[in-house]
Amino acid sequence: MPLGNPRRFWEARANSLVWRINVGAWLERAAPASFAVATPFAVAIFALRRRQASLLSAEIALAVALLLSAIYAAWRARAAYYSRTEALVLIESRLRLDTRLTAATAGLVAWPAAPDAWRALVHWRLRAPAGWLGGAVLLLAFALTFPVTHDAGVARSAGPPPSVLQTREMIAALQDLKTADPAELEKLSERAAELARRPAEAQFAHSALEAADALRDQTAAAAAALGRNLESAAAALEAAGNDADLKSAASRLGAALQGLRDGPLPVNKDLLANLPAGAGDLSNLSAAQCAQLARQLAQAGQQTRGVAGAAGAGASIAKGEDQGEGGAGAGGEGGGGGSAPLSFSNQVADITPAKSEGLALGDLSRVSLGDKLSTTAGTHDVDPTRAAGPAAAGAIAAPAQGGDAVWVNRLTPAERAALKTFFK
């Protein structure tokens, strides 16, 4: 029903027309912009889902981008916006009211009576904007709901990186040997556990892998240094037991004990308390006691250095109970008196190509191709007093011939250019 006040009626119709025209102008520009924004974000969201990463940042960025695109579309459509005065002029034109509404607004004439029926003067054509908006919604829905497989480029492992596992192996072996300080081993174990507690996608990042490798190398170097200091102390005790210079042996033992206390991986305090601290303590030990303590320290040092040599994950690291006296196994029947030591060593084998050894080949039927049978040495038999008679010079046995090709190369142009460059 028309409003009782004609002025209120026409102003309400003008406001409604302004809203319809301005929203239509904004929607015409905002719909394509929303599709342009949604397309890259749909690809980004799908990629994040493949990598099992959080979508919160992408969703916030999408909302901000859509808001900015809406503001930009409103700014672009400002030239097409209608005011209420322009809407009244449009109503006058469509209803053929001449300029009565404009004149009534200026107070020159009375407002015309409201019509009995009213029909909308403008209509929205929503096919194109709905297509753009629908496409944007479908792209985002596809990116959020389509089933995906995990990206093969992201490392998915049942555990931490190999370097962390190797560090744990070495720490566990050192704890079993009881040669290192438990407090320092606990610190190394906590650092390895901190690396292992990282998320799966962060554990295999470049920086995380470098940190794990550095911790493994540091643990291996500390174990090797501890093993060398134990062996140095064993050598000093062995020298003291062999009636050597006690003062010199005490000096060597003091230097070894200093390394055991202040090294990157200190020795177990209980083990250090049982070692002689100086020349006075050494003089109180018998030769047998020095020899026994030297063997124990040498075996402990060899096993500790073996931990550094077996830094591979799952590698067999020698334990104290795995070896007999002197670091060798019991051996088997028909063997050479014992098996090879179970511990690893950093000493390089004395094998060089220039080293030659004689072969004892009593039975020539067992000689293989390339075996050396024997060598002889001799000199030329030259008589300086012997006169050399005249000798005929060489003669040409056949006439010279030339012009014959002895080798023909058929090269491609690229090969000829390469040869010219090489033999400049």
Question: Which of 139, 165, 110 is CA-nearest to residue 38?
Answer: 139
Q: Tell me the backbone φ, ψ of residue 199, rounded to 5 degrees.
A: -60, 155
User: Residue 276 corresponds to which amino acid?
Assistant: P
Dist CA 180 CA 189 (whole Å): 13
- Pull the structure tokens for residue 229: 């200091």
Residue whose token pair is 């959020």? 144
**What are the helix (H) ranges across 51-161?**
56-76, 84-95, 100-105, 127-145
> Which pTM value belongs to this model?
0.40
**For the packed helices 287-309 and 206-241, what is the interaxial angle rounded to 10 degrees?**
160
Whole-Å CA distances, 188 to 2, 91, 202, 220: 86, 84, 20, 11
The Cα–Cα gap between 33 and 70 comes to: 8
> How many helices, marked H, and strands, marked E, lie in the chain?
14, 0
Residue with tokens 């024997």: 374
Per-residue pLDDT of the chain (424 residues; tens, 9 = 90+): 444 588 888 888 888 888 988 998 999 999 999 999 999 999 999 888 888 888 888 889 999 999 999 999 999 988 888 888 888 888 888 888 888 888 888 888 888 887 777 777 888 888 888 899 999 999 999 988 888 775 544 444 456 788 888 888 888 888 888 888 888 888 888 888 888 888 777 777 788 888 888 888 888 888 888 888 888 878 877 777 665 566 777 777 777 777 788 888 888 888 877 777 666 666 667 777 777 777 888 888 888 888 876 544 344 443 434 434 334 444 444 444 454 544 455 555 555 555 555 555 555 555 566 666 666 777 777 776 766 666 555 555 555 555 555 555 677 777 777 777 777 6
Residues in CB range of 20: below 8 A, 6 or more apart:
120, 122, 124
> Which residue shows structure tokens 């500390």?
222
Distance CA 94, CA 63 (A): 41
How far separated are the first and last CA of the chain, in Å rounded? 103
